Structure 1
Amino acid sequence: MAQQVQAVIAPGKNEPVRVETIVVPDPGPGEAVVKIQACGVCHTDLHYKQGGIGDDFPFLLGHEAAGVVESVGEGVTDVAPGDFVILNWRAVCGQCRACRRGRPWYCFNTHNAKQKMTLLDGTELTPALGIGAFAEKTLVAAGQCTKVDPEVSPAVAGLLGCGVMAGIGAAINTGQVGRGDSVAVIGCGGVGDAAIAGARLAGAAKIIAVDIDDRKLEMAKTMGATHTVNSRTSDLVGEVRALTGGHGADVVIDAVGRPETYRQAFYARDLAGTVVLVGVPNPDMMLELPLLDVFGRGGSLKSAWYGDCLPSRDFPMLVDLHLQGRLNLGAFVTETIGIADVEEAFQRMRDGEVLRSVMVF
């Protein structure tokens, strides 16, 4: 039987979000209903509200979530009612050419729930990243549910569903940071700090945090940065080179996603080094680089797509590292909020006051 629950809706472009009653249907084949316990407030949710991702309003916001499976539909075997799960927005198909080649983190046919959640008047909702977890309960594809150790705090676990995984994965999976490497991370918000934490986990010897805000640089030190550069007052490329023997960093991660920061990342890396783009550009942004420099410097220019993660592999591993005290996921939680506090959380995000606000039910 369909359920009515409270949820946060973005009704139209740049309109204030509001709490509405929505209808969550019973799970169909391959689907699951999850009772949400916590959900992070991510920049992607703000992009949805601003119309930067699409115009399929109204949006059901929220996607960095953890909770308990309440019910499952026909054919679901990987999760069962009562399982504690982190939600992911890339349920792999297992059949596409990437999956068949043993690279499911590149799956070209990821899927979401087929049924739609609605407002009380029947208006269909578009769930953010196919999840929509600023809600007491949500409907997802069962493959979007990843079981992890229930000993972890939901407020911490949910952040692996997007931003923290994107940053850690950009360092470990995409950038393939190794022991003794030098790493520079441009942009020290939630994703950038997660990349710093990932580089530290991977054994990087030198981790250079770059930002224009000294407050964020101080926070980056607590995540594992060994050096900091304020690029508002210093030459980013020159400083990174000076800190790496004049050569440039082995891996440079752009967690901002602007043409100017990407160019800085390109020239701040060592010859044959790696650039990883994990910051999300706007659709109208264009990049210009001398093709001879691209050829002559060698190395790799990569994009981190969800940190090239495989949720079934990476989420349980990172939760275990957190529970062992080797990865402080709690450091990313600046504050906890209620369901009515999302608009204010967006403002604090704009002002650079938080790494993550987390809605707790």
Structure 2
Amino acid sequence: MPQQVQAVIAPGKNEPVRVETIVIPDPGPGEAVVKIQACGVCHTDLHYKQGGINDEFPFLLGHEAAGVVESVGEGVTDVAPGDFVILNWRAVCGQCRACLRGRPWYCFDTHNAKQKMTLLDGTELSPALGIGAFAEKTLVASGQCTKVDPEVAPEVAGLLGCGVMAGIGAAINTGQVGRGDSVAVIGCGGVGDAAIAGSRLAGAAKIIAVDIDDRKLETARAMGATHTVNSRTSDPVEAIRALTDGNGADVVIEAVGRPETYEQAFYARDLAGTVVLVGVPTPDMKLELPLLDVFGRGGSLKSSWYGDCLPSRDFPMLVDLHQQGRLDLAAFVTETIGLGDVEEAFAKMHDGNVLRSVVVF
């Protein structure tokens, strides 16, 4: 029968979030109820709160989560009650033209739970990225559950559900960083630092971190950056070129999502180099570049959505790397907090005081 649990709701644009009781229906066909153990506070949740994604309030926030499957609906065979899972927001369909061409990470028909979670008065909730995991339990499509080794700590495993995967995937999957490459990462928040960690995993010879905050640059160096540039005091394009024999980086990853930083990334790459946009822009932003420069510089301009990941392939692999000591996921966790501390975590995020706050249940 339906369950009542505590969850964090964004009631309206820029209104403070609050903890409320919500109703979780029994899982229907293809669905699962997951008991959440930990959920990271991601900048995308703040975007939802600010109305930067859409206006389908109230939102059930949280999506960077790990937990245990409690129950499943009819026809579910990929997960079972008791499985430890990381939630993902790209449950591939297996039937669209991308999936049938062997490129499921580009799936054009990803899906979520069909039933709606609600407030006590029946008001339907819009779960962030189809998950809604700032909650004791949540309802998702079973394909949004990726089984991993239950020995990994939930507070680090959950980060693979969004930000860390987005950054690592931007470097390895989208940017295809290779051994000996030079890489520049503009914006050293959680996603940017994950791109730095991914570049190091891929064997990049030079990793240049760019930010306006010296504290973030210090963290970026700990994540694997070989050089840092404070773009508040130095021209980042010229600095990146100076560090790459005047050529520019082979791969430049833009992890801010603003036109001015994208333009910096465009001109900071080498001829025939690659620009990867993984920062999330707002709907009003516009980009203007001379078309002749786009043509004349060659190379690739790519967008990385969720790090072009395939959760069933990438999540277990990255958990294994963490357990081998080759990927320090714990370094991304600045603090663990309670369900009632999310609004304060947003403030800390805005001030640049945390890499990741993680709600632990």
User: Which interval holds the TM-score relative to the shorter structure?
Assistant: over 0.9
Partner of 1:329: 329
SS at match of 1:341: helix
In the TM superposition, what whole-angstrom CA distance separates every residue of 1:187-219 from its partner, at most 9, and x where no partner exists? Answer: 000000000000000000000000000000000
TM-fit CA distance, 1:81: 0.3
For residue 319 of structure 1, give the secondary structure of its aligned residue in structure 2: helix
Q: What is the CA deviation profile of residues 40-69 of structure 1, one whole-angstrom value per residue up to 9, with x for unaligned ones? A: 000110111111111111100000000000
Matching of residue 72 in structure 1 with residue 72 in structure 2: yes
CA deviation string 1:134-163 (max 9, x = no partner): 000000000000000111000000000001
Identity of aligned residues (%): 90
Comparing 285-294 with 208-217, greater Cα deviation is found at: 285-294
Deviations 1:100-144 (A, max 9, x none): 000000000000000000111111111000000000000000000
Q: Distance in 1 between matches of 2:123 and 2:283?
A: 28
Correspondence 1:115 to 2:115:
yes
Deviation at 1:257, TM superposition (A): 1.0
Deviation at 1:296, TM superposition (A): 0.8
Conserved 8 A contact 2:8-2:134: yes
Deviation digits for residues 322-341 of structure 1 (CA, Å, limit 9, x no counterpart): 00000000000000000100
Query: For structure 2, which runs of at least 5 residues remain unmatched after alignment?
Result: none
Partner Cα distance (1:290, 1:14) in 2: 36
Corresponding residue of 1:25: 25
Q: CA–CA distance in 2 between the matches of 1:320 and 1:216?
A: 27
Could you give the per-residue CA deviations for residues 84-113 of structure 1, whole angstroms, max 9, x where no partner exists?
000000100000000000000000000000
What is the alpha-carbon distance in structure 2 between the residues aligned to residue 263 and residue 104 of structure 1? 30
Distance (whole Å) between structure 1 residues aligned to residue 114 and residue 305 of structure 2: 23
Query: What is the alpha-carbon root mean square deviation over aligned residues?
Result: 0.4
Whether the 8 Å CA contact 2:173–2:307 is kept in 1: the answer is: yes
Aligned counterparts of 2:52 and 2:295: Cα–Cα separation in 1: 33
SS in 1 for 2:184: strand
SS of corresponding position for 2:274: strand
Instruction: Give the secondary structure class of the aligned counterpart of 1:110.
Output: coil
Partner of 1:344: 344
Mapping of 1:180-195 within 5 angstroms? 180-195=180-195
CA contact (8 A) 2:53 2:282 kept: no
Q: Secondary structure at the match of 2:340?
A: coil
How far has the Cα of 1:354 moved from its partner?
0.3
- In the alignment of these two chains, the number of paired residues is 361
TM-superposition CA deviations, 1:294-324 (whole Å, max 9, x none):
1111000000010000000000000000000
User: How much does 1:18 deviate?
Assistant: 0.6
Q: CA deviation at 1:282?
A: 1.0
Name the CA distance, whole Å, in 1 between partners of 2:125 and 2:259: 34
TM-score, with normalisation over the residues of structure 1? Answer: 1.00
Instruction: Give the Cα–Cα distance (whole angstroms) in 2 for the partners of residues 224 and 270 of structure 1.
Output: 21
Partner residue of 1:317?
317
Separation in 2 of the partners of 1:230 and 1:102? Answer: 41
Alpha-carbon separation, structure 2, partners of 1:84 and 1:335: 22
| Aligned mates of 2:163, 2:299 — CA distance in 1 | 26
Query: Which consecutive unaligned segments of at least 5 residues does structure 1 have?
Result: none
Structure 2: distance between partners of 1:7 and 1:104: 32
SS of the aligned residue for 1:15 comes to coil
Where in structure 1 do 4 or more consecutive aligned residues deviate above 3 Å? none
How many Å separate the matches in 1 of 2:345 and 2:132? 17
Aligned to 1:53: 53
| Matched position secondary structure for 1:267 | helix
